[in-house]
Amino acid sequence: MKTGDQIVQELPWKWGVQGKVFVIGGLGYLFDAYDIALNGFLMPLLGEHFHLAPADRGLVATANLVGMAVGAVAWGTVADRIGRKKAFSVTLLIFAAFSVLGAFAPTYPVFLVLRFAAGVGLGGCIPVDYALVGEFAPRRYRGRVLTALDAWWPIGVTLCGLVSTGLLPAADNWRWMLAVMSVPALLLFCVRRGVPESPVHLARQGREAAARAVIDALVARTGAAPEPYAIPAPVVESGARGPRAVGEQLVRIWAFSPRITSAAWLLFAAVMMVYYAALSWLPSILTDQGLGNTAAFTGTTVMSGVGIVGVLVSTALVDVIGRKWLIGLSAPLAALALVLFALVRREPAAAVAALAVFGFLMQLAIPALYAYVAELYPTRLRASGFGWASSVSRVLTGFAPLLFGSVLWPVLGLPLTFGVLGLAVLAAVGWTAVAAPETKGRALDDEPAADRTAAVRSAAPTATGAADPPGTALTAPRRRPS
């Protein structure tokens, strides 16, 4: 007899069912992109308004990204404990509330504190969204669905560029830029409340009646033939609650597989370092070359607009050539395109062309990266494993704008700075090639053979309850709740 997990993963794809979860999750992801892109557009405007030095301007992105790092860890762990749905809604509400307050910030220090708080809320969106969407997606479509989810990112960045450019003539333009994005975020909070809880998570929590209700509704709405299935009895877990749960989940994801976790962290950090450095500083770099704010904002918007095509191509390729190959080829080439931009930045046409190539290649890599890391961990660790990888990248990239403006750009110059970041990408890709498995076509809870022993040891009864049997997949008779 099949398990409920198998039933969900073998359902046909319907836009009115799984597609609804995809769209609602994607809209939350759009706001994450919008918020990060907004840092770059705000930096030159806040620099003028508060009379800031370049290094001080970098604190805008630093405060926001570090807040997102805290949120990614905290909300990833919370989602594994209380469920995807509750965390799904609260993260966006916190973000919207503090974004509105940020628009009324009287001083620069107050503004930074509010941007940090908004980041804590929004930082939880990505790990929660990917966990929820991935657990509703049928197995044969999961790679494409998770990769296509990243299409919302360049759409969000492009939308931010268009809105920010349109608001430039307004008085207190930076305040309006913050206020405008909060209204649709609050509307989305209301829409998200209609998303069902993940049946995979409900089953892990031992909530059989609730899991069956969701699964039966999915079967009926997708038109699949009903068939009997089992909901495995969960293993009672004696894990920590509250703040201790964060540290406990960190121990678990490293005990699950040091090789996989180190590869996920390094790959996430290196690729996103390059992307966020470009996204945060491009308007300022272009302005430094003598372009006005409108032209500088337009150049960044072109980069993100071309990235939409990159995501669509990535979606088509991810299940054909695999996650590792797609990331391993496109990420280093994207870094090289950024070096070329630095070399030709004084020639407007060549600079915009290089940015377009960078935007396309980077959006080939990032969707595959997000899908890949989300699939590396089993259900009990998926949101927190993804959240910690995202958090590490946010911490590093959070301080990168500050170092970029105060040390790297002034001392090394742009070409060498971007070259160093490119070497970091090459190193991360090389380690991932030997340390982490390909996940194309693999069941969500399949564990690489080399890591099964570590996974079982980390789940020993003396620490967290009965261990998972080696090779356990979604069809296993007993699983630990998330």
Whether the predicted pLDDT of 471 surpasses 80: no
Strand runs (DSSP E) across 116-244, as ranges? 229-230
Output the furthest CA–CA distance in the chain (Å, rounded): 68
- Which phi and psi (to 5°) does residue 2 adopt? -75, 160
Phi, psi of 206 (to 5 degrees): 80, 15
Of 48-52, 145-149, 151-155, minimum mean pLDDT range: 145-149
How would residue 445 be classed by pLDDT, with cut points 50, 70 and 90? low
Q: What is the pLDDT of residue 457?
A: 39
Most confident among 61-65, 232-236, 477-481 (mean pLDDT) = 61-65
DSSP code at position 380: G
User: For the purposes of burial, counting CB atoms within 10 Å of the CB of 15, is it exposed (0-12), middle (13-18) or buried (19 or more)?
Assistant: exposed
pLDDT tens sequence across 329-344: 999 999 999 999 999 9
- Positive/negative CA dihedral, 220, 199, 452, 437: positive
Query: For residues 46 and 173, is the Cβ–Cβ distance under 8 A?
Result: no
Question: In Å, how far are 131, 144, 182, 288 from 96, measured between CA atoms?
Answer: 22, 30, 5, 32
Instruction: Reply yes or no on whether the pLDDT at 368 is more than 80.
Output: yes
Report the distance separating Cα 138 and Cα 143, nearest Å. Answer: 9
Question: If we measure between CA atoms, which residue out of 49, 39, 283 comes closest to residue 172?
Answer: 49
**Rounded-to-integer distance, Cα 204 and Cα 221, Å:** 23
**Which residue reads 């770059």 in tokens?**
40
pLDDT tens figures, 77-98: 777 777 777 776 788 788 888 9
Instruction: Give yes or no for a contact between 89 and 193, defined as CB atoms under 8 angstroms apart.
Output: yes
Q: Taking 60 as the threshold, does the pLDDT of residue 461 lie above it?
A: no
Residue 201 banded pLDDT, cuts 50, 70, 90: confident
- The answer for residues whose C-beta is within 8 angstroms of residue 236's C-beta and 6 or more apart is 465
**pLDDT beyond 60 at 426:** yes
Alpha helices in 377-468 (DSSP H): 382-403, 409-412, 414-435, 449-458, 461-464
Q: Determine the pLDDT at residue 362.
A: 95
**Three-class SS of 96-129:** HHHHHHHHCCCCHHHHHHHHHHHHHHHHCHHHHH
Locate the domains of the chain by residue range: 2-235+243-464
Report residue 299 CA to chain centroid gap. Answer: 24
Please give the angle made by the CA atoms of 13, 18 and 20, to the nearest 5 degrees. Answer: 130
Amino acid (one-letter) located at 156: G
Burial (Cβ within 10 Å: 0-12, 13-18, ≥19) of residue 107: exposed
Give how far the C-alpha of residue 216 lies from the chain's centroid of Cα atoms, to the nearest Å. Answer: 30
Q: Are 307 and 362 in contact (CB under 8 A)?
A: yes
Closest to 384 in 3D by CA, of 132, 90, 75, 135: 75
Report the pLDDT value the prediction gives residue 235, as an integer from 0 to 100.
60
| Cα angle value 341/343/346 (rounded, 5°) | 85
Q: Quick one: what percent of the chain has pLDDT higher than 90?
A: 34
What is the average pLDDT value for the chain, to the nearest integer?
A: 82
For residue 123, give the nearest of 58, 65, 84 by alpha carbon.
65
At 203 the pLDDT is 84
Higher pLDDT, 363 or 150: 363
Q: How confident is the model at residue 236 (pLDDT cuts 50, 70, 90)?
A: low
Backbone angles phi, psi at 3, to 5 degrees: -95, 165
| Host H or E run for residue 356 | helix 348-376
pLDDT for residue 133 is more than 90: no
| Token pair recorded at residue 14 | 């319907």
Other Cβ atoms within 10 Å of 282 Cβ, number: 25
- Of 229, 217, 275, 202, nearest in space to 479 by CA: 202
**Residue of 206 and 329 predicted with greater confidence:** 329
Q: What pairing do the DSSP bridges indicate for beta strands 229-230 and 2-3?
A: parallel
Whether residue 472 is predicted with pLDDT greater than 50 in this model: the reply is no
Which pLDDT score, from 0 to 100, does residue 465 have?
32
> Hey, how many other C-beta atoms are within 10 angstroms of the C-beta on 477?
10
Highest mean pLDDT among 29-38, 212-221, 463-472: 212-221
pLDDT of residue 74: 78
pLDDT score for 25: 82
pLDDT digits (tens, 9 = 90+) for 17-31: 999 889 988 887 788
Tokens of 474: 């979604």
Domain 2-235+243-464: give its CATH code: 1.20.1250.20
Query: Both tokens of residue 164?
Result: 């920010």
Question: Is 112 in contact with 63 (CB distance < 8 Å)?
Answer: yes
Most confident of 176-180, 196-200, 293-297, 469-473: 176-180
Supply the pLDDT for residue 89: 73
pLDDT of 479 strictly over 60 = no
Distance CA 359, CA 175 (A): 28
Q: What is the pLDDT of residue 124?
A: 74
Helix H or strand E segment including 3: strand 2-3
Mean pLDDT of the 142-161 span: 84
Q: What is the mean pLDDT of residues 2-17?
A: 91
Between 259 and 58, name the one with better pLDDT: 259
Is the pLDDT reported for residue 354 higher than 60? yes
DSSP letter for 2, please: E
Q: What is the pLDDT of residues 370-404, one digit of tens each?
A: 888 878 888 778 878 887 887 777 777 777 777 77
